[in-house]
């Protein structure tokens, strides 16, 4: 019997003009209208997915590169995903929803209060995807912290948020109709927190949760990021090669990080980011792979446009046939990010921009491990194999929260996964944490 796995959906470009420039934009959905997301999230729940995560960035980035981000709506505008979540909870009953929250942006008391409210409103289905990006600090009048310091601040922030959530002791909520007593103030602990980054008083004026705290999701993969995950996260989003050995190695790293913080492997569900390209037939697989070896200029341009927004550097205006000079990136992006986004090629500095784009555009077959193009059965086999051979907890698909995208991915994959016994067909009633611990 195959191992059941958990599946989630990463709404990858956040609450913005998703689909801009693509034909399906002509379906006449307004991206500012919650109904497009409500329709999609219902489908995700029906498909048996445990979790929706909504990407976010607080800012249009550095002043010099704003046009790059907005020109094709690649990196903005974005509305606040936290405020979209109640609309999504309203039309669903089981799926968990975790908007991205930058720990530097919300004072802890406000965060604890708003998140507690959403946890109660949703029947224990709320979570936060905690990120530590510091580039938006200037909008908040804050200093830009270094990488690890931003994680330190996020840990202190989360500690205080949790302390606020738990400031009502067991028995504080009485609700005795006979005596007329609602709560026992002597069991509500005030406290004073004075830390490196925050100073505030408790307690919180929210009642305790029925099924535990909102879940914590984390995406950071650095040493400090994994230590944060080990100490705090219910779900780690993993970006890694997807062969059996790499998946096992990543899982080991997260489990070691958890053990160092006194937690157990089963306390963290590790979901690997997965973007398969599902096509109709074996012939189509080979055709798509072959075509990708000789990308058209349009494809090259699209690759460079996407990279330009992520790298905050306009690559589309550079000579395609000259080596890429890393100096074009200025101070905006770290060398590690450049290397990562350009495919991690050794010596990429000596390759022409065209060569880098061609390499980035190259696709491979999922059934021989050279890429992610496959038929439904090949993709389902791949998922099943990682569950059985690498004890994988599950995957997070990534795409727009648009019915066209959701159906394109899931219509045929869901039945194939259910047939293999890899995907749940029902949920319990204990909220998202209970769902994650079902298997």
Ligand X SMILES: Cc1cc2nc3c(=O)[nH]c(=O)nc-3n(C[C@H](O)[C@H](O)[C@H](O)COP(=O)(O)O)c2cc1C
* Contact positions vs ligand X (CB under 6 A): 10, 55-57, 100, 131-133, 219-222, 224-225, 237, 239, 273
- Name the residue nearer to ligand X (CB basis): 216 or 237: 237
- Name the residue nearer to ligand X (CB basis): 176 or 222: 222
Q: Using DSSP, how many helices (H) and how many strands (E) does the chain show?
A: 14, 14
- Name the residue nearer to ligand X (CB basis): 58 or 353: 58
Q: How far is the CB of 188 from ligand X (least distance, A)?
A: 34
Burial of 154 (0-12, 13-18, 19+ CB in 10 A): buried
The answer to whether the CB of 118 falls within 8 A of the CB of 161 is no
DSSP state of 365: B
Q: How far is the CB of 136 from ligand X (least distance, A)?
A: 9
Q: How far is the CB of 341 from ligand X (least distance, A)?
A: 12
- Name the residue nearer to ligand X (CB basis): 131 or 279: 131
Q: How far is the CB of 181 from ligand X (least distance, A)?
A: 44
Q: How far is the CB of 10 from ligand X (least distance, A)?
A: 6
Alpha-carbon distance of 115 to 215, in angstroms, equals 10
Q: How many CB atoms lie within 10 A of CB 11?
A: 28
Nearest alpha-carbon partner for 360 in 315, 417, 325: 315
Q: What DSSP assignment string belongs to 98-163?
A: EEEEETTTS-HHHHHHHHHHHHHHTTS-BEEEEE---TTGGGGT-----HHHHHHHHHHHHHHHHH
The answer to whether the CB of 198 falls within 8 A of the CB of 164 is no
Tokens 């929803």 sit at which residue?
97
- Name the residue nearer to ligand X (CB basis): 96 or 219: 219
- Name the residue nearer to ligand X (CB basis): 339 or 418: 339
Q: How far is the CB of 56 from ligand X (least distance, A)?
A: 5
């Amino acid at each position: 019997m195959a191992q059941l796995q958990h599946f989630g959906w990463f709404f990858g470009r956040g609450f913005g003009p998703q689909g801009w420039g693509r034909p399906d934009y002509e379906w006449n959905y307004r991206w500012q209208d919650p109904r497009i997301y409500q329709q999609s999230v219902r489908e995700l729940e029906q498909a048996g997915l445990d979790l929706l995560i909504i990407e976010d960035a607080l800012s249009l980035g550095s002043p010099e590169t704003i046009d790059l981000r907005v020109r094709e709506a690649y990196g903005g505008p974005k509305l606040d995903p936290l405020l979209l979540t109640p609309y999504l909870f309203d039309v669903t009953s089981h799926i968990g929803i975790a908007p991205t929250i930058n720990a530097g942006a919300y004072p802890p008391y406000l965060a604890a209060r708003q998140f507690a409210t959403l946890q109660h409103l949703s029947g224990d289905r709320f979570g936060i995807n905690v990120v530590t990006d510091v580039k938006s600090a200037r909008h908040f009048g804050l200093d830009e912290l270094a990488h690890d310091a931003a994680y330190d601040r996020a840990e202190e922030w989360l500690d205080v948020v949790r302390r606020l959530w738990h400031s009502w002791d067991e028995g504080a909520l009485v609700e005795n109709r006979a005596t007329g007593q609602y709560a026992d103030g002597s069991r509500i602990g005030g406290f004073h927190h004075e830390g490196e980054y925050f100073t505030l008083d408790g307690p919180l004026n929210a009642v305790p949760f029925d099924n535990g705290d909102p879940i914590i999701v984390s995406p950071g993969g650095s040493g400090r990021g994994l230590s944060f995950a080990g100490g705090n996260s219910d779900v780690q989003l993993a970006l890694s090669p997807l062969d059996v050995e790499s998946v096992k190695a990543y899982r080991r790293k997260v489990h070691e990080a958890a053990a160092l913080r006194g937690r157990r492997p089963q306390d963290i569900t590790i979901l690997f980011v997965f973007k398969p390209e599902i096509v109709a037939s074996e012939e189509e697989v080979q055709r798509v792979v072959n075509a990708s070896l000789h990308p058209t200029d349009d494809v090259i341009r699209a690759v460079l446009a996407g990279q330009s927004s992520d790298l905050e550097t306009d690559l589309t205006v550079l000579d395609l046939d000259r080596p890429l000079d890393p100096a074009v990136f200025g101070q905006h992006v770290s060398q590690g990010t450049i290397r990562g986004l350009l495919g991690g090629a050794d010596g990429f500095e000596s390759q022409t921009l065209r060569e880098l784009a061609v390499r980035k555009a190259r696709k491979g077959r999922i059934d021989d491990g050279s890429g992610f193009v496959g038929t439904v059965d090949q993709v389902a086999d791949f998922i099943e194999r990682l569950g059985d051979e690498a004890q994988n907890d599950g995957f997070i698909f990534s795409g727009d929260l648009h019915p066209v995208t959701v159906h394109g991915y899931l219509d045929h994959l869901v039945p194939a996964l259910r047939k293999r016994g890899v995907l749940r067909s029902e949920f319990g009633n204990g909220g998202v944490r209970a769902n994650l611990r079902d298997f």
